[in-house]
């Protein structure tokens, strides 16, 4: 009798652990998807703020400090996203069909995707360096370079 109770308890805990594992894996992917999408959106806001201010031609020594902060944010965002921890295999299509625009090519062409991420890190690094130097023309070129990195990656790896 006691034997049987222990046996049942073991089976129950194995079943429970199995179920919890599946739920945990899904939750983990939901988290990374939300995190990388939020980081992308933040970079879009910062880049948009920079673009608008630089186009308006009203960058003054006073506003350049704030713009430099936005340039830093864009760079920090891509440094964070170039860590492949935010892109685990199975966290995009086809395994996850809703809530993500991450295409299967991210994993079937992993080297190409990593190169696109590294390209965005480099482009945003130039933008940040121009911001650090207070070089408004350099920042304009930097924003354009970052935008090119956004679109070329989206064309291949975002649905």
Interface residues with ligand HEC (CB under 6 A)?
33, 36-37, 40-41, 43-44, 47, 100-102, 116-117, 120, 146, 149-150, 153-154, 157-158
CB-wise, 2 or 111, nearer to ligand HEC?
A: 111
| Shortest distance, position 14 Cβ to ligand HEC, whole Å | 33
CA 24 to chain centre: 21
CB-wise, 5 or 97, nearer to ligand HEC?
A: 97
Residue 17 CA to residue 104 CA, distance in Å, equals: 29
Residue 147 CA to residue 120 CA, distance in Å, equals: 9
CA 125 to chain centre: 16
| Shortest distance, position 46 Cβ to ligand HEC, whole Å | 8
| Shortest distance, position 66 Cβ to ligand HEC, whole Å | 18
CB-wise, 64 or 106, nearer to ligand HEC?
A: 106
CB-wise, 39 or 63, nearer to ligand HEC?
A: 39
User: How does DSSP classify residue 158?
Assistant: B
How many Cβ atoms sit within 10 Å of the Cβ of residue 89?
A: 10
CB-wise, 102 or 139, nearer to ligand HEC?
A: 102
φ/ψ (deg, to 5) at 127: -60, -45
| Shortest distance, position 131 Cβ to ligand HEC, whole Å | 15
Q: Burial letters for 25-61: b for 16+ Cβ neighbours within 10 Å, e otherwise?
A: eeeebeebbeebeebbeebeebbebbbebbeeeebee
| Shortest distance, position 125 Cβ to ligand HEC, whole Å | 13
């Amino acid at each position: 009798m006691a034997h049987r109770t222990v046996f049942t308890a073991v089976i129950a805990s194995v079943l429970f652990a199995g179920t919890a594992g599946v739920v945990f894996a899904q939750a983990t992917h939901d988290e990374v998807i939300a995190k990388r999408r939020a980081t992308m959106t933040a970079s879009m806001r910062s880049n948009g703020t920079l673009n608008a201010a630089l186009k308006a031609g009203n960058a003054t020594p006073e506003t350049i400090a704030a713009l430099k902060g936005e340039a830093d944010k864009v760079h920090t965002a891509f440094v964070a996203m170039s860590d492949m921890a935010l892109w685990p295999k199975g966290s995009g299509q086809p395994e996850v069909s809703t809530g993500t625009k991450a295409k299967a090519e991210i994993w079937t062409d992993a080297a190409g995707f990593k190169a696109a991420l590294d390209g965005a890190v480099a482009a945003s690094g130039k933008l940040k360096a121009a911001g650090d130097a207070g070089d408004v023309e350099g920042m304009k070129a930097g924003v354009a370079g970052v935008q090119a990195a956004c679109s070329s990656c989206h064309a291949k790896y975002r649905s």
